[in-house]
Structure 1
């Protein structure tokens, strides 16, 4: 049984393939189409790439699983709630209509417009259930509490569950038209002059530079109101109607906050930084409020987290320290891209009654290229071919010498983090390396931090209590040793977002860091995604070569080959 999951007609489109429950391929469409946070009716290029890579045809697929199911005929149980939303004075019908349109548009007619041949049956999965499956079914837990927190899916914004085997017990829900933490973060991101979708992580980084501000503190407490039973509500008088307002604060509220910032990040004032700080603080408080109650209600020691808000790594760090759960699992793609995988897995396990998928052990699920394919692309570009006997040793030597390199190996990562296969790497020992990479390579805001990739055996010394963190999704305090040894990857507030690298998940990357440790005594490297500002992470050798020559990188180690620039 082959199930092809996809997310479309929304941001962060993606595809995934399950074959008899085994995960064969998963990739965001943006990496293939080269359009960041791609929004398309149907990710036909990503589907085409999946079929090409796997050697399949559309007729070989038994079912298409899609990550939305808001059609009225399929959801009679939602009609009373939908009617209640319509009757509310502040109900935003634009959001509700958009959800229904997304679901209704996933049809054979749409797909036939994009692809030829017989179209497999289309089976819809509720958005938050696709998120749930993307985290719980790929966790190592037999039972777990689950929290899904995002902008919205159908009418749901925050949902909590207890899962055990095939049982899903829904515990609580906060819904449209108002109760969306994800939308509040998006509105605040736009208020600071950033893009509506995709720049939230920049605000999270900016928050560390702000000072406590009682005015902004009071505003966000009035905006996000915490209630008994682990619930919260968003004040509609302050949030306004999110869809009809373009997902931004009403004019009178924006004026109260000092007006919208449209001059770019270089013009941020202390007030803007404090605004970001108090936003982040309140979001963290709301998430903790929900999750602490979930701990009591579920009586579980395990937590699985998904939804776009699960990319808020600072909040995740607080959950690790303060939620009361012993174990927390977050998949490498907890945002909407992960719902293609989740929708396919939900059908396979919960609806078709098949065996549960294996726990996820790594994120290297996308396209890979042989040395022959890489050499052919280098030759096609008219570049000299230089083969390496030991790519990891060569890369480590260059890093120790102070070079900043592109590192392109194996299958691309699923999710927004580069985890050692599509990475830009640098020496973390000098604090000024952060500014150098931001300015000369990444062409992005200077305040934004970089993450360390650290060997498993050294993680405790650098980041006490971190435990397993393979997907770079927890911000935690750095030890004095980390601040002394690897200052380029320690943020201004003394924290870092580490990736713990073990030899089983990525032996070549582990060897690179080990070689660097032998040369320098430091068991970590600076790791950031292989791209420049505004572009998706590179996916193919052609992408990597283009990015290499369009940036300030010193060298590119790709497969068994190295590229250098003329001195």
Structure 2
């Protein structure tokens, strides 16, 4: 059975599942070069159909994300529902949560008649009869469960979703039993949103909500804990756990723009870093206590997480550290770009017959495009006057030698990784043992904020040498933070957080990516270091490269020393 998943909101994405396997998943921004590109994913769907050599009639089901049309951009977010909702509250004496639900019920009737959706469906000749609409938070929950080992092993699990808002909700709690039966125990209204509070704080600090929340998380460790606690008390006055400890409760009538206005008043005079530290501390406290309370109530100690709020690797670390948590799965890149995957998984699982294969457990995330040699050579020949290149039968070894000599290189090999994190195939790599490399990388290539850390890719076999791991779970996708060991502070210092020396690692298994594993292994043979610094292959503010042309453009417009494109090593003359 072939199921096409479509998310037509912010960071629009399409994916294809065939007989329980995620075959292709790609976000629209990779084609348009607009970070966070929203709207109907024309390019992504075209790529999927072309790559898999399918026509629209061969798609069995279409899984559409959201009961209502999701927002496409931050402009819609700040200027639409978030702007007018506080005004409505003044004139309609409804419970705010009921007002949101009433709006949802009204808008949901127009989901399949939206002009942009119809235009997209008609372009590809998709029949509306094939469409199944999946609620936003159920798409998040589906990724957390169906791609985890809990599904494969038929283990009982608590599934949590938390984000800003989707279909009128900001969170859910569900149980899935040993027979894979779902029961939703809790729905948290968008009015009581932890994610919106974090995003509004991002906006307060003159950064882009829905995108720059990670910058606050990166700044937080620099802050004096006393200052963070003072700011966290301000957030305590806005939002708390519900009286039973099993939900969230907005303690004001503020939401959207009215909340932002109040934050400007309440946080005037506080330093930037104190606000970042305060919102992170508050976020961690609420998240951890909510999950702990549900574990204690249900007696279930297996936890699965998804939704944009669980992109917060520091909070995820604290969940893993809970004595009550026996096992944890965090969906990689679990913002709304994952919703298309969740919708397709949900439709496949509910509609598959006994003869259909079950969903495959998550292995690697290399679900995007790859380059043909013809395409590579065509691009390289265009730049003969400015570039030199050679083909190598030992490309991993040559790349490792460059890294060992403290060159900064980029790698564009194999299928592109899906999601927000670089996992080695569209990556900029550096020797992590020297802090000067971090400075060079930041100033000459990435231009990131000075306080932001980079991340390491570490051989699976070496993970215990570098990370403090008390519960040995598959941390292969940069979804969790770890404390570092002394050896890490010697070998991979440039890939640790500069202040607290924590890390956000990708533990690289050979079976997930044999070529990248070989490169790091060759680097270890030369240096004795079992990891490299890895960051996404893109210039500041641009999406990850998506073609040989993109890779060469980045080389020519940065201080990269060389680029590996499949078996070709490329450098400037």
Question: What TM-score results when the alignment is normalised by the length of structure 1?
Answer: 0.90
Please say if 1:432 is aligned against 2:448. Answer: no
1:101: Cα distance to partner?
Answer: 4.2
Aligned partners of 1:50, 1:287: CA distance in 2, in Å? 37
1:300: Cα distance to partner?
Answer: 2.5
Equivalent of residue 365 in structure 1, options 361, 364, 367:
367
1:88: Cα distance to partner?
Answer: 3.1
- Give the CA RMSD over aligned residues: 2.3
**In structure 2, do the counterparts of structure 1 residues 117 and 484 end up closer, same or farther at CA, with 3 Å as the change threshold?**
closer
1:296: Cα distance to partner?
Answer: 2.5
1:290: Cα distance to partner?
Answer: 1.4
**In structure 2, do the counterparts of structure 1 residues 440 and 95 end up closer, same or farther at CA, with 3 Å as the change threshold?**
farther
**CA offsets, 1:103-129, max 9 Å, x none?**
834448644523535313221001111
Aligned partners of 2:323, 2:442: CA distance in 1, in Å? 34
Could you tell me which residue of structure 2 aligns to residue 150 of structure 1?
163
Aligned partners of 2:562, 2:109: CA distance in 1, in Å? 46
Q: Is the 8 A contact 1:230 1:292 kept in 2?
A: no
Q: What 5-or-longer segments of structure 1 have no aligned partner? A: 72-82, 260-269
Any idea what SS the aligned residue of 2:215 has? helix
**In structure 2, do the counterparts of structure 1 residues 434 and 24 end up closer, same or farther at CA, with 3 Å as the change threshold?**
same
Please say if 1:530 is aligned against 2:546. Answer: no
Could you tell me which residue of structure 1 aligns to residue 79 of structure 2?
none
Aligned partners of 2:402, 2:20: CA distance in 1, in Å? 42
Q: Is the 8 A contact 1:316 1:473 kept in 2?
A: yes
Q: What 5-or-longer segments of structure 2 have no aligned partner? A: 70-87
Aligned partners of 1:522, 1:112: CA distance in 2, in Å? 54
**In structure 2, do the counterparts of structure 1 residues 26 and 341 end up closer, same or farther at CA, with 3 Å as the change threshold?**
same
Aligned partners of 2:323, 2:193: CA distance in 1, in Å? 21
Equivalent of residue 43 in structure 1, options 41, 44, 54:
41
**In structure 2, do the counterparts of structure 1 residues 402 and 342 end up closer, same or farther at CA, with 3 Å as the change threshold?**
same
Aligned partners of 1:100, 1:544: CA distance in 2, in Å? 46
Q: Is the 8 A contact 1:127 1:153 kept in 2?
A: yes
Could you tell me which residue of structure 2 aligns to residue 230 of structure 1?
246
Any idea what SS the aligned residue of 1:282 has? helix
Aligned partners of 1:190, 1:282: CA distance in 2, in Å? 17
1:91: Cα distance to partner?
Answer: 5.9
Runs of 4+ in 1 over 6 A off after TM superposition: 83-86
Aligned partners of 1:542, 1:514: CA distance in 2, in Å? 29
Any idea what SS the aligned residue of 2:271 has? helix
1:384: Cα distance to partner?
Answer: 4.2
1:92: Cα distance to partner?
Answer: 9.5
Q: Is the 8 A contact 1:186 1:197 kept in 2?
A: yes
Could you tell me which residue of structure 1 aligns to residue 397 of structure 2?
393
Q: Is the 8 A contact 1:92 1:241 kept in 2?
A: no
Equivalent of residue 474 in structure 1, options 480, 487, 491:
480
Aligned partners of 1:203, 1:418: CA distance in 2, in Å? 20
1:371: Cα distance to partner?
Answer: 2.7
Q: Is the 8 A contact 1:456 1:501 kept in 2?
A: yes
Equivalent of residue 193 in structure 2, options 160, 170, 180:
180
**In structure 2, do the counterparts of structure 1 residues 95 and 544 end up closer, same or farther at CA, with 3 Å as the change threshold?**
farther
Q: Is the 8 A contact 1:330 1:473 kept in 2?
A: yes
Aligned partners of 1:249, 1:99: CA distance in 2, in Å? 26
Q: Is the 8 A contact 2:67 2:111 kept in 1?
A: no
Please say if 1:217 is aligned against 2:205. Answer: no
Quick check: 431-440 or 494-503, which moved more? 431-440
Aligned partners of 1:307, 1:241: CA distance in 2, in Å? 20
Q: Is the 8 A contact 1:332 1:414 kept in 2?
A: no
Could you tell me which residue of structure 2 aligns to residue 274 of structure 1?
274
Please say if 1:26 is aligned against 2:12. Answer: no
**In structure 2, do the counterparts of structure 1 residues 95 and 496 end up closer, same or farther at CA, with 3 Å as the change threshold?**
farther
Equivalent of residue 548 in structure 1, options 542, 555, 563:
555
Any idea what SS the aligned residue of 1:116 has? helix
1:459: Cα distance to partner?
Answer: 0.6
Please say if 1:59 is aligned against 2:80. Answer: no
Equivalent of residue 123 in structure 1, options 132, 138, 141:
132
**CA offsets, 1:46-71, max 9 Å, x none?**
11111122111222212211111249
**In structure 2, do the counterparts of structure 1 residues 465 and 166 end up closer, same or farther at CA, with 3 Å as the change threshold?**
same
Please say if 1:135 is aligned against 2:144. Answer: yes
**In structure 2, do the counterparts of structure 1 residues 20 and 89 end up closer, same or farther at CA, with 3 Å as the change threshold?**
closer
1:278: Cα distance to partner?
Answer: 1.1
Aligned partners of 1:357, 1:95: CA distance in 2, in Å? 33
**In structure 2, do the counterparts of structure 1 residues 372 and 98 end up closer, same or farther at CA, with 3 Å as the change threshold?**
farther
1:391: Cα distance to partner?
Answer: 1.1
Q: Is the 8 A contact 1:307 1:334 kept in 2?
A: yes
Quick check: 56-65 or 419-428, which moved more? 56-65
1:552: Cα distance to partner?
Answer: 1.4
Aligned partners of 1:323, 1:362: CA distance in 2, in Å? 29
Q: Is the 8 A contact 2:454 2:495 kept in 1?
A: yes
Please say if 1:317 is aligned against 2:317. Answer: yes
| Count of residues paired in the alignment | 536
Aligned partners of 1:193, 1:84: CA distance in 2, in Å? 27
Aligned partners of 1:379, 1:338: CA distance in 2, in Å? 37
Please say if 1:256 is aligned against 2:266. Answer: yes
Aligned partners of 1:51, 1:462: CA distance in 2, in Å? 42
Any idea what SS the aligned residue of 1:347 has? helix
Any idea what SS the aligned residue of 2:63 has? strand
Please say if 1:167 is aligned against 2:170. Answer: no
**CA offsets, 1:334-392, max 9 Å, x none?**
11111101101101102445543010111111111233322222223445441112111
Could you tell me which residue of structure 1 aligns to residue 5 of structure 2?
5
Please say if 1:557 is aligned against 2:564. Answer: yes
Could you tell me which residue of structure 2 aligns to residue 286 of structure 1?
286
**CA offsets, 1:72-110, max 9 Å, x none?**
xxxxxxxxxxx9997436569689747964783444864
Equivalent of residue 446 in structure 1, options 437, 443, 450:
450
Quick check: 83-92 or 23-32, which moved more? 83-92
1:531: Cα distance to partner?
Answer: 0.8
